Amino acid sequence: MSVSAPDIPAKTKRGFRLDLKTVGPLLALALLVLLGISLNENFLSYNNLTNVLARSSFIGIIAIGATFVITAGGLDLSVGSMAAVIAGVMIMVMNWLIPSMGIGWGVVIAGMATGILLGGVAGVFNGTMITRGRIEAFIVTLGTMGIFRSLVTFLADGGTLSLNFQVADVYRPVYYAGVLGVPWPIIVFALVAIGGEVVMRYTAFGRYCAAIGSNEQVARYSSINVDNVRLLTYILQGILVGVAVLLYVPRLGSASSTTGVLWELEAIAGVIIGGTTLKGGYGRIWGTVVGVVILGLIGNILNLQSLISPYLNGAFQGVIIILAVLLQRGRRT
Amino acid sequence: MKLVKSLMASAVIAGSLTGAVVAQDKVTIGVSVPAADHGWTGGVNYFAQEAIERLGTTYPNVEFVFASAPDAPKQIADIEDMVSTRGIDALVILPGDPDAMTSAIKQVKDAGKFVTVVDRQLSIDGVENLYVAGDNPGLGANSAEYFKQALPEGGNIVILRGLPIPIDAQRFDAFVAGIEGSNITVLDDEFANWNRDDGFKVMQDFLTRFPDIKGVWAQDDDIALGAIEAIKQAGRENDMFIVGGAGMQQILQAVADGSALTPVDVSYSPAMIATAIELTTSHFTGGIQVAGRYILDSTLITKDNAAEYLDPNSPF
């Protein structure tokens, strides 16, 4: 990554023309909020909003990593299983350290470090197989998805790994407490989102991702180290999965083979709803944040009403997702 | 007197001799279960392997073939292999998806094997020799009885359901029928997919939506554990109680300790697979008549009888 950023004329003309592609996700979000308000008076309550945002934060943080991977023309299907195995190993490490370190923040911090490290290692593995092994990202991450899922089932002996009760009490505030009434998961999600937006828009790395995703050959001729940039997106993805798990473990203090099932699809859906193109070349972090919040709100609204039969929840979800993307593509006729 | 004694002795010897004759035949029993994809199936895998190990030691002439499959096609392939390459005499199967597997299981039966089906009913009757299952309508009905007893004046409750499959519908319908005529009002029911994370989410939203909830029927202990965290987060653990189901150790311990939040549980033990393996084995080793239907009660577990169900070795 020693190559400096090519000078791209960043200033493009900005009019006040309402661009659906830009406001599409926001419009969908606004409509969903209006629907929520009309269905239940508690929808806008502080408790409900913090509940939904805190719940969405795991997928959100993972989806920000996925935005980079997808923008650079890649795909990572392993994130859900990776989250499960990281959660499992973190819990085992913390339980194992209790006799030597005692109950306290020391154990929790060691557990957190393990989580981030494991995420990074898993990312290095995925990225290396894809860039150095020259295997399709879909195949590599489909493979690791199965490997990680089996590993957590094996580690848990088919059951559930539970964190020691006293350590869980120490760790609990990381999900449930916060600063000035804003729970930690929301704060971390916001910080990761702001960081991601800055990296995507204002750094060479972000521009390289877009360049590789839109045309790999041209990017290579422009002396971008395509393999290294790609590898970095997978490592970033792994680390962010680790961060998400740090916030997930204190919620229930347990991990099992059902942890993180289908998170990869939710993350990818959030990314695409937000306006990033699935085939790569264009990524938008704030859009991903909006996309993930939309997904979170759909689940929330379904639980706050009894008009729609629970058998049709999936259909409602599907309609909203398609509508949200349709709103952005409306102009292209 | 002497005559009687010698008669008895010869009877015993004769008995043990015939026993030995039966025992010398080599018997192979195939056991096929779904992969441990959630807590309950994890328990199934554990109890199946434990029973196999125990019975394999007791009856050296009985050989077991164990397979655990993540989906229906793999499970079908497993049982086909068991018949063609392992030469099984009997099959004990907990079909992951009974409808998809009925015809494959029927082929095993048609090949002259003894077939034991566990927990999930096949789509046509009369395929299996022995059917061992928990009582799903009973689980709903017993839970409903407890709700009526705990809320004699009536009150508002919410229901967290499993997945939209027949087992869930049987439990739900029996519960709703059970509380009929009482003053208990079901505010709403939502699927929580037999999963802790979904139990947490659905319960959080129910708590947002309804200011007055007296009881929660989660009908599963994994869902209950997630819901409990949501109730604690909202600080409403003194306003309501929650009834799960299946008999997970963590919940049973709370019941035994007299928790007000989880006063009871209803059994639906994954150990039913061990019952099935045991019965099937005794059909071959003891020549005992076992064909038929064996339904294990879904008993209400309270503070008084929780100790009977506690098993420190169980992973579930």
* CATH number of the domain where residue B220 is located: 3.40.50.2300
% of residues, chain A, pLDDT over 70: 92
| Containing structural domain, residue B155 | 136-266
One domain, residues B226 and B250: yes
For A255-289, give one letter per residue: b (16+ CB within 10 A) or e.
bbbbbbbebbebbbbbbbbbbbbeebbbbbbbbbb
In a domain, B207, yes or no: yes
In a domain, B284, yes or no: yes
Question: Minimum mean pLDDT among A18-27, A272-281, B167-176: which range?
Answer: A18-27
Residue in B39, B225, B234 closest to A159 by CB: B39
Residue in B42, B189, B225 closest to A158 by CB: B42
One domain, residues B277 and B254: no
**B235-279: per-residue pLDDT in tens?**
999 999 999 998 888 899 999 998 999 999 998 888 899 999 999
Per the structure, how many domains does chain B have?
2
One domain, residues B123 and B230: no
Q: Where are the beta strands (DSSP E) in chain B?
A: 27-34, 62-69, 90-93, 114-118, 130-134, 155-161, 184-191, 215-217, 241-243, 265-266, 292-296, 300-301
Residue in A51, A306, A313 closest to B208 by CB: A51
B42 neighbourhood in chain A, CB within 8 Å: 153, 156-160, 256-257
One domain, residues B166 and B289: no
B250 neighbourhood in chain A, CB within 8 Å: 162
ipTM of the complex: 0.73
Kindly state whether A313 is in contact with chain B, defined as any CB-CB distance less than 8 angstroms.
yes
One domain, residues B278 and B254: no
One domain, residues B111 and B189: no
One domain, residues B60 and B149: no
In a domain, B302, yes or no: no
In a domain, B306, yes or no: no
Residues A265-288: what's their mean pLDDT? Answer: 91
pLDDT confidence tier of residue A160, bands split at 50, 70 and 90: confident
One domain, residues B190 and B117: no
Final residue belonging to a domain, choices B266, B282, B309: B266
pTM (2 d.p.): 0.78
A252–chain B nearest CA distance, Å: 7
In chain B, residues 147-166 whose CB comes closer than 8 Å to chain A: 161, 164
> Is A256 close to B42, i.e. CB distance below 8 A?
yes
> Is A303 close to B200, i.e. CB distance below 8 A?
no
One domain, residues B149 and B95: no
In a domain, B308, yes or no: no
> Is B315 close to A40, i.e. CB distance below 8 A?
no
**A208-223: per-residue pLDDT in tens?**
999 999 999 999 999 9
Mean pLDDT of chain A: 88
One domain, residues B82 and B51: yes
One domain, residues B129 and B278: yes
One domain, residues B217 and B186: yes
The pLDDT of residue A16 is 52
A176 neighbourhood in chain B, CB within 8 Å: 233
In a domain, B301, yes or no: no
